[in-house]
Chain A
């Protein structure tokens, strides 16, 4: 058989036995002869590829290893590096990925990857090249003394293959052997890892400071995005942010008192002068996690662009993402608990303790919320609650199967609906990498039905490729134009309802103590901040009117629409567009959003 050639089993091995001493050893002789002959005839076996792996956390010795971190917002990357430094690791956070990172990612990555892969992989290669070229460190030293720490996942989209891609790119860029260490996104706080105290130990003591850093980073970003559009002195927020990051980073590094640091930060932000009556459209950024989170060229610096174009940006927090993963774990467990027999597989419950899993998820959810709220209160992010994942799931149920996963799964659809029915924002911008499988391949398709059901929604999905920013900006400006008008109208309506002019409202805000403070958050009733602060000012000036409006808002039930709404309207001969925008008929509000039951 020809295939015997592949795996060199000497033909001479037939009937092998040891010869008595002194006699000719036929087998040995034949084996020698055959090997010689094979060589002469050029009949070697085929070589086979084997992927070399470099991911043992035990090899990352604290004493001489520097951990590189990157991938979230700049504030979070910095604070995480501080947090890890605080527990004895040497850490460097990389810069936000830029065009050069994209180019390197494309050069060394596979064709057809999504651009978060190109950006993040390229960013690491870029940093390593920089170490080698400008700091004069040899390649071997880079490989020996640095590791990259990142999140891993089990798919189902390309995200799960990042580590494969890192390996390929590093190998092709000449850094074979460079270690990329993974912690699993859905792996919980205790993960299989090194138990060697000198190495990288991914246990609770390792994750706890990271979680704190992530949540504090979220809150910091939240505050800055709230204040920046309304700052009176341009650049004041960025200056405050810079100072704050430094203070918190220092506190993390020293493993010192975070509470004191947070109070300092609160004072710094509190000192920024703001004018919240500027009617700025509030734009909610949703979409694919990385594309909406990064602050570099990966999304055309879309947050900055929006702010420059006069919008207030409502960003998604990393905490939401963590909560979503907790929800997934809980839902998958609960979904399978009632089976007569457990399945194998990644999500199957065979050999697992579902009750323990449920308790852990419950505790996880509560712990994140508690921690986040504590930080929010301490730092001054008032009037904000993390989203209810059950509400999100319930809102999306009829549009997006809960078992279809990948990316933000049903969350994008749900967030868009909630943004409309609760008047959370004036415009929803869904940012996703070009060809993102779950986001542009599935969510956007479903969103087209949502925009049909909620024609009043100003919704814009954009795909980011890293290049061709001009088209994207142009599209955003196109929608922002509408959002701007909507925000203006909201403010005018409120002012009209209280019979106030804008100047009167502004004077009132200046006079009432605390109302002009940077950290105050007027109760949410309208999408835009200006309308909310005007509502607050108006109700101070006309308390009775204010109460009436609050009462009406409180009793207003937001309308959730399904395809059948379309059908019933079609039967009645009413055009589908003939529905009142939620923003128009929502005259009053309560701070807390109402839980929604799906019809």
Chain B
């Protein structure tokens, strides 16, 4: 732009102060022409940057009198600046809307992706008034971080910014990335990087995820009409993102029946205009043109200067938090105490042969490796940032290690190799490592090595994960890991430093400088980033922001991840480790936090904080190799020289199920010709093999294990939707029956009169059973009712199936949708307008499946048609618990059918257009009489049922439900009694009913099943009071509860049926020594939230093994599941050993008590003999009994030694079949 330096006519300035840049336009108010424009990154110095712009504009237009200038500002950082220069603030979406309306009157919709937010603007023409109506929508908090997410992922995949411009979108090579939240996306991306997926494919997958997310959520279920304008940084600078829009938007048009001008090229229909980054700034000026001339009058730059110098502190002073460092001496003391000793590599002598083991930790963002000699001394360390392939990282590090040794004239003799971290599996496979241990155990071993077995808490903070281990006797007693929502904290610190242009090594120096800090509240990295923008806008400096961010880290660890507010209960000896501890600001914040809450705490920082995992792996290798006397490791030179190919294409895709996982094969070959293949990127065990034959072998093996260790969650999930009870025919017309009637008088009338005078009398009338006509019966037999397999249908499916079948609907006419799968979700997830938990959201995909796969409309022979889609609002559930306040369903679960009705009828009525009726009546399952009427009101007229027929079907349905419960509890009883007998452990899954859906529980239970743990569902615990008595006897005797199915001692306010049942199941587990708990909870689950603390108290007081997988969402965080499963397996192993110890001690106790008893009885016998002159036969009998018991103990002990434990044999499904027939004949 060449401004006109001679211009004297007035100008208008539009400034867009965003989260990372400032954009400015100078506009001629007469012609609306842009006279000058520019943009700059502000590096958090927004007021300074604006000042700079204003000075430059003044220089460019020296002839324009200052008082004729008008200024309009927009953007997230503009509001506090406006009053200082006399500017008027314009909201940015309005500004963009003005610009688009002016520049592109034919545009139908706008998608603007910014650094922090996404906005969609849709224009509609009102046909009657001709007015243009504008609908705007911005992302909610969770979906934010679009631009910022792309930035962070670029760092993760290691793709240079320059390469992005050349990247092409390729729809054929996409991988699953969750885009609803930036942190979830990062978690997925880390996994993809670790699987060796090329950066280009990862970025394409991210783009696709962002586009799909925006199309399904941000549009609030509306169709983006053409032409579509793409705005914002990511849309402008990333061609592959543009291409993705151009692919996905027309797909949505096709799907929703929107017609568009197909003759125009798609680049014209979906386009990025020139100068798109200036639209908001320009729009602000256009807005100003509508305002009176007195508005936005420029008052000069003095005010702004003053604001920069004085205004900020005055405004922030009160709200700000304390600084990280109170005074210089405080800092000195801290630095002195926590200076991490600089590691000095071992000095070697020429000719020396260095014998030692190598420990390698392939972490999420970096890999570390240590060489440890036989005495356990650390000789050398290596570190490398991940280059996208774990084998390459390993080769580089080992080569460097070897070179360093050789450079000193020494030689290296590696006697063992151990690996941990994300990359451990591939290294174990390709290098035949001696040790492959999970990170948590490695960290534990390392901490114990340095600080002794009396360590109480180990807190490891890496780039992605937070791991906190609670210790007892030098081993892991319990642990907490960051979940999807609390991941990426270390990375956030790094990304923030990057954003401010500060090398991460200088982070602490800068943060210590700050004299105050903004008060962040704990939360996920996306929320923290959003807060950061907010604080930045308020005027905090980067130093203060960095300090504030460091200070929120301990809150995120202790309040968000660990959730134990009384830290003192954990112990006093804390060890901090993990790469993030190198950042002294973060370290100081944590030390201060811990010491404030545990005054007598000893807080240590690991001397090799970043390499703790690698050291742990090395120490374990040392132990294993010494014990075994040999190593399996391929050898150093073989490892360095290993050749590998990484392949991810159509050929490596897994076709063994509908998920069609895109797998990566890493093939390695050592110089002596040994080859191995490592496969990653699969979501189930089928992906671990390559051929059908191998799959068969694998499945046979798995089935064998499954049979031995039953998974009752899986069993229940299947059984619930099958026919449990063969339908009993409806009674013949006229069969005597008792009908209940109510006579009311005036009560239906409103007003006081009806209330005062109304009489109500309920009576039983004996009369003949009323049957409907033959016609109606035939109609019913042909009816087809689709039911989404979602939410509380998982509880009530046996009831519903039996109700319909008894009423005369053919068994095949009751059509449940399939189990949730990724494929189903991707296909049917575009109707949503709200973003609740995944189990609620996924209902739309189930309804979509019913509409588009279970219904083809014609209903002719062989054709499929549905008459109804039945998705009841289940407001209350039946509950086995007694004495709870209510038995209500979660309000989202109850209300989702209404949300679905809105979603599927708002633009197009998908039901009506397909001739289907959607039914979402309320069903109140804890009031059986009301329930009968509710069902009758819906299906009486539709299926032609008489009231008697309806009531009979409901009664039968209850029986079916009871049979289902009996069946599953029988199985549960068998498993529990088996594990008791054999001192084994069964894992009880705590969850809500829909967590039985394999698509919602991510089949995490299978991982434990193959490790040899049978799985119990909550429903499978017997609820028979007699059976439960032995667990609750003491509680009842103490008066804590009235009966075994009560909760009043732990949660008197329980009213949510499923939450209460979860708490009860935890309580049961706490009383059973052979049951361990795995607690599942979905992201955003409001009803689970209040139970976290209760369950934690119950479980931790009893010392029951416990692990949780919280915040489950659509994506499967395989990395985090893997660590959990492995760590938990470690804890379970320890628990099992303890159990065995206890069992043998208990037997010994029984034996010794009987020994003592015999001794006493003999003594008494002697006394009796002395007194009466003869032996007491009763006493003799008792002696013989005790002797018999002792012999039995001995025999059992011998037998136990002979038969292997852990084989649980259950009767198969035939039991169910027997029942079904019994039901039929009943």
Contacts and interface: CB of A to CB of B under 8 A. Distances in A.
A445 B744 CA distance: 39
B930 interface: yes
A110 B1035 contact: no
Interface string B1174-1199: 00000000100000000000000000
Nearest to B1041: A50
B695 to A, nearest CB: 40
A380 interface: no
Interface string B1026-1042: 00001101110000100
Interface stretch (A30-38, A134-142, A228-236): A30-38
Interface stretch (A188-196, A197-205, A343-351): A343-351
Interface in B755-785: 755-756, 758, 760, 762
Contact of A343 (B144, B892, B930, B980): B930
Interface stretch (A61-69, A99-107, A243-251, A591-599): A99-107
Interface string A473-484: 111011111100
A448 B218 CA distance: 12
Interface stretch (A401-409, A537-545, A548-556): A401-409
A346 B1074 contact: no
B836 to A, nearest CB: 4
Contacts of B138: 471, 474-475, 478
Contacts of B920: 401
A403 B922 contact: yes
A427 B741 CA distance: 49
Contacts of B533: 470
Contacts of A354: 747, 760
A114 to B, nearest CB: 7
B1102 A343 contact: no
A125 B746 CA distance: 52
Contacts of B1090: 110, 113, 158, 161, 164-165
A6 B1031 contact: yes
B141 A463 contact: yes
A409 to B, nearest CB: 9
B847 to A, nearest CB: 13
A53 B1040 CA distance: 12
Given A26-B1157, A30-B1157, A6 B898 contact: no
Contacts of B1161: 26
Contact of A15 (B523, B980, B1182): B1182
B137 to A, nearest CB: 9
Contacts, number: 430
Nearest to B933: A339
Interface residues of A, number: 133
Given A1-B980, A477-B94, A438 B928 contact: no
A24 B1073 contact: no
A3 B980 contact: yes
Interface residues on B, range: 35 or more
Interface string B1048-1072: 0111110110000000000000111
A154 B888 contact: yes
Contact of A2 (B116, B840, B1142): B1142
Given A107-B555, A160-B1053, A578 B128 contact: yes
B1093 A345 contact: no
Interface in B36-79: 76, 79
B1085 interface: yes
Residue from A26, A50, A112, A578 whose CB has the most chain B CB atoms within 10 Å: A112
Contacts of B950: none
A563 B904 CA distance: 10
Interface in A402-433: 402-407
Interface string A21-49: 00110100110011001100111011111
A524 B518 CA distance: 46
Interface centre among A12, A341, A445, A448 (most CB of B within 10 A): A445
B1226 interface: no
Contacts of B133: 455-456, 577
B889 A173 contact: no
Given A2-B1073, A359-B756, A172 B902 contact: no
Instruction: Decide if the interface of chain B is mainly helix, strand, loop or mixed.
Output: mixed
Interface stretch (A83-91, A254-262, A330-338, A511-519): A330-338
A413 to B, nearest CB: 9
A463 to B, nearest CB: 6
A438 B129 CA distance: 36
Nearest to B1143: A2
A146 interface: no
A564 B523 CA distance: 44
Contacts of B221: 448
21 contacts: A3-B1031, A5-B1146, A19-B1164, A26-B1157, A41-B1149, A43-B1145, A103-B519, A106-B521, A112-B1110, A156-B890, A163-B1053, A441-B837, A445-B834, A445-B896, A467-B523, A471-B117, A478-B92, A563-B906, A577-B124, A578-B126, A580-B129
The 9 closest A-B pairs by CB, nearest first: A340-B740, A445-B899, A406-B891, A442-B895, A403-B922, A449-B902, A112-B1089, A448-B833, A343-B927
Given A154-B888, A339-B933, A441-B840, 13 more contacts: A113-B1090, A155-B888, A346-B886, A355-B755, A355-B760, A359-B756, A404-B875, A404-B922, A407-B891, A449-B905, A452-B906, A564-B912, A579-B126
Interface of A: 1-7, 11-12, 15, 19, 23-24, 26, 29-30, 33-34, 37-38, 41-43, 45-51, 53, 99, 102-103, 106-108, 110-114, 152, 154-158, 160-161, 163-165, 168, 172-173, 334-348, 354-355, 358-359, 362, 399-407, 434-438, 440-442, 444-450, 452, 455-456, 463, 465-471, 473-475, 477-482, 563-564, 566-567, 570, 574-580, 584
